[in-house]
Amino acid sequence: MKKRTYITLFLFIGTFRVLMAQFPGAVEKRSSIALEHGAHRLGKRTDAQMEMWRNYGLGQFIHWGLYAIPGGHWNGKYYAGAAEWIRSWKEMPKDAYDHLYKQFNPKQFDAKAWAAQAKDMGARYVIITTKHHDGFCLWPSQYTDYTIAHSPYKKDALKEIVAAYDAVGIDVYLYFSIIDWHHKGYRSDVPKTPEEKQAYEDFKKFTANQLKELLSNYPSTKGLWFDGSWDKAWVEQAAFADSLEAELRAMRPGLIIGSRFRADEFGRRHFDSNGDLMGDYEQGWERKLPATIEDVHGNDWDCVMTVPENQWGYHSEWRGHVKTSTELIEMMAKSVSLDGNFVLNFGPDGQGAIRVEETKLAKEIGEWMKVNHEAIYDCGYADLEKQDWGYITRSRKSGKYYLIIFNTPVSGALRIKVASGAGIAKLYDLANKTTTYNPEEIHRSKVEGDEYFIYLKERLTEPKVIVLETNEKEQDSDVLYEKAKT
């Protein structure tokens, strides 16, 4: 290549990188292949229902099913996996598991108490397991007998849960596993013989029927949270899954479905062969968080999190690192600061009771949320330089910034860099609005005009929020929104 070509190329890449930097979440497209079953939309959804989802901040996950009865043990032996997977353990006789429904009679189950606790914690949406991998249905499905209707409990627990959460204003999303260990036609490997193929067709029809049944039985449902969609047999069903998704969306305009439902025609999951997200939000942040805004590629996303290492569904013996409420609050703050929602999992026991450890965490998170929810609800990525003392969120509605402080520096100086030329208008404690920091008194770096240092008088024992209002011209939320788009 000639020297001039090099220079042109260099300038071109330079310009491209500067342009990309304007859109922190933007991702370079890897290629552009014509896909029939890839992403059907580029960039975020802009409708009101998705905006509602985006603004939740905090959600609750509930894993509840037959696995709650053994609670991670069988015959006195401890199962080291996640408790809801116990059926797949060599020590667990399949037949014994498949008869557990005859014991499902949760005497302490009180949907209203669950909903009240979730409300008190500050959750604005709930994801509830309607059917996990074992295939047991928490609702009286007409397409199988393996349901709660045939348990001694008899009643429709899902209906009670949906009604209770609806009543307190928490939006309901239904978890549904494609994997179904109970259905005869279910396969993980691609079916080969004509008999197997026919059985799998029956399974597909059954899956579609159940999903339509759920949406028509529980019309207040805002979305579906899919799982167990990684098996080869299902990954091959790109065309079927794509048309089923379209049918479900047509049944309920505004329905929200994440990226863990279907693959494209080349077997790519979550992101299609062009690198574009399939579904309304990225559903791959499971028990982990993105490190930077670049990691989320300008998409909506949720993080689902367990308290210990060994349970989604109830495990009577928690092991591994058990997270504290402060750690969970930090994960929530980090999620929101990176434009995502944080969803904390609960695993009620076989009697339907939420264990005391989870109740305590919910209460502690709720106490913090009562004072500080403004920094979480309706907030997202702030587009200010990341600081080591914690996380910055910004209200999509008011444009206010929230400095959520977790680590007080030894120097006591909290650095903040506002948008160029913006200047600080107001700076005050969220918990105690009378504690204000006078911008004239806080040290302002002479080197860079937009850099400030706030000196805290106290050492923190819990995360604290400082509200920052700048002199930026009033931006409407569309402008804020545009910035995060790819």
Q: Determine, following the binding rule CB under 6 A, whether residue 309 of this chain makes contact with ligand JFZ.
A: no
Shortest spacing between CB 15 and ligand JFZ, in angstroms: 36
Residue of 265, 286, 294, 309 interacting with ligand JFZ (CB under 6 A): 286
Beta carbon nearer to ligand JFZ, 27 or 178: 178
Shortest spacing between CB 343 and ligand JFZ, in angstroms: 9
Q: Residues touching ligand JFZ: how many (CB under 6 A)?
A: 8
Q: Determine, following the binding rule CB under 6 A, whether residue 92 of this chain makes contact with ligand JFZ.
A: no
Shortest spacing between CB 383 and ligand JFZ, in angstroms: 28
Contacts of 73 (CB under 8 A, 6+ apart): 79, 316, 317
Beta carbon nearer to ligand JFZ, 24 or 284: 284
Which span sits near ligand JFZ by CB under 6 A: 81-89, 314-322, 381-389, 453-461? Answer: 81-89
Beta carbon nearer to ligand JFZ, 227 or 450: 227
Residue of 84, 180, 264, 358 interacting with ligand JFZ (CB under 6 A): 84
Q: Determine, following the binding rule CB under 6 A, whether residue 365 of this chain makes contact with ligand JFZ.
A: no
Q: Determine, following the binding rule CB under 6 A, whether residue 82 of this chain makes contact with ligand JFZ.
A: yes
Beta carbon nearer to ligand JFZ, 227 or 330: 227
What residues between 193 and 252 interact with ligand JFZ by CB under 6 A?
227
Contact of 87 with 67, CB cutoff 8 Å:
yes
Shortest spacing between CB 284 and ligand JFZ, in angstroms: 5
Tokens matching residue 468: 């920052």
Shortest spacing between CB 100 and ligand JFZ, in angstroms: 17
Q: Determine, following the binding rule CB under 6 A, whether residue 284 of this chain makes contact with ligand JFZ.
A: yes
Q: How far apart are CA 368 and CA 430, in angstroms?
A: 11
Q: Determine, following the binding rule CB under 6 A, whether residue 358 of this chain makes contact with ligand JFZ.
A: no
Beta carbon nearer to ligand JFZ, 133 or 464: 133
Q: Determine, following the binding rule CB under 6 A, whether residue 280 of this chain makes contact with ligand JFZ.
A: no
Q: How far apart are CA 117 and CA 385, in angstroms?
A: 36
Contact of 126 with 173, CB cutoff 8 Å:
yes
Residue of 27, 178, 257, 304 interacting with ligand JFZ (CB under 6 A): 304
What residues between 310 and 349 interact with ligand JFZ by CB under 6 A?
312
- Residue 347 one-letter amino acid: G
Beta carbon nearer to ligand JFZ, 256 or 304: 304
Nearest CA to 101 among 70, 140, 146? 146
Distances in whole angstroms, Cα of residue 306 to Cα of each of 309, 312, 317, 348, 413: 7, 6, 14, 13, 34
Question: Which residues, listed in sequence order, are joined to residue 174 by a DSSP beta bridge?
Answer: 128, 224
Shortest spacing between CB 486 and ligand JFZ, in angstroms: 22
Q: Determine, following the binding rule CB under 6 A, whether residue 295 of this chain makes contact with ligand JFZ.
A: no
Cβ-in-10-Å burial (0-12, 13-18, 19+) of 423 comes to middle
- Look at strands 424-429 and 464-470 and give their pairing: antiparallel
Distances in whole angstroms, Cα of residue 415 to Cα of each of 384, 387, 451, 458: 11, 7, 7, 16
Residues engaged in binding ligand JFZ (CB under 6 A):
82, 84-85, 227, 284, 286, 304, 312
